[in-house]
Amino acid sequence: MCLTAARPEASAERRARRANGRIALICVGVFVLMTGAAFASVPLYRAFCQATGFSGAVPKAAKAGGKVLDQTLTVSFDTNVRGLPWSFSPDQTHQTIHIGETGLAFFTVTNNSAQAVTGHAAYNVVPLQAGLYFRKLQCFCFTDQTIAAHATVRFPVVYFVDPGFAKDGDTKAFTDVTLSYTFYPVTTAAAKPLAAKPGPKPAQGLGGSAGAGL
């Protein structure tokens, strides 16, 4: 009986299949690792954006900008809710302020459910280049907010646009910006829910009184 040697082509095919199998496993492992890293990095990315103004996020300010310019800017307000039984709206659709001037805006949130619910507001500015100069001194978005069942709460936001906005070649031509908020659910509730507290209607323009919730 004669033994027939394996064909070189068959051996090459087997080696190619084994190599392709190893590559596929490596690709799956890399995909899983990158997906996990992406989910883990979301809070860090959001914190970075909101601290630096990157990607249109709005940095928190310790004090007002100081110098007030003659140039004005119209600030529009946008609100959204994701995964919460809440109604969320701005009390004013827009305001016109001088660059460097402190503005005051109000927002109203109603919890439409029969239990206390906690949410956190993410925020950004459009156009994205304006985010670097849009500053907030006081905002409900700095902390989680827990609202009691069927309660309505009004939140103030104190903000200004840094005078550097008028000098930057990427922003100085803008006459309108939009400040946008989106509330997302938070699983860990705050110690004490905010109950319904009727507040005075804000005056026209920049006036008004601070509502509950900071």
CA proximity to 153, closest of 200, 92, 199: 199
Identify the band that residue 22 occupies on the pLDDT scale cut at 50, 70 and 90. Answer: low
Whether 109 is in a domain gets the answer yes
Q: What is the pLDDT of residue 177?
A: 97
pLDDT digits (tens, 9 = 90+) for 34-89: 444 433 334 444 444 444 444 344 555 455 657 999 999 999 999 999 999 999 99
pLDDT at 187: 79
User: Has residue 38 been placed in a domain?
Assistant: no
The whole-angstrom distance between residue 4's C-alpha and the CA centroid of its chain comes to: 70
Residue 161 domain-assigned (yes or no)? yes
Residue with tokens 């319904």, as numbered in its chain:
196
CATH number at 94 reads: 2.60.370.10
Whether 32 is in a domain gets the answer no
Predicted model pTM: 0.65
In a domain, 196, yes or no: no
113-141 tens-digit pLDDT = 999 999 999 999 999 999 999 999 999 99
Which residue segment(s) compose the domain that 103 sits in? Answer: 72-185
Structural domain tally of the chain? 1
Q: Is the residue at 114 inside a domain?
A: yes
User: Is residue 3 domain-resident?
Assistant: no
51-60 per-position pLDDT tens digit: 444 434 455 5
Note whether residue 142 is domain-resident: yes
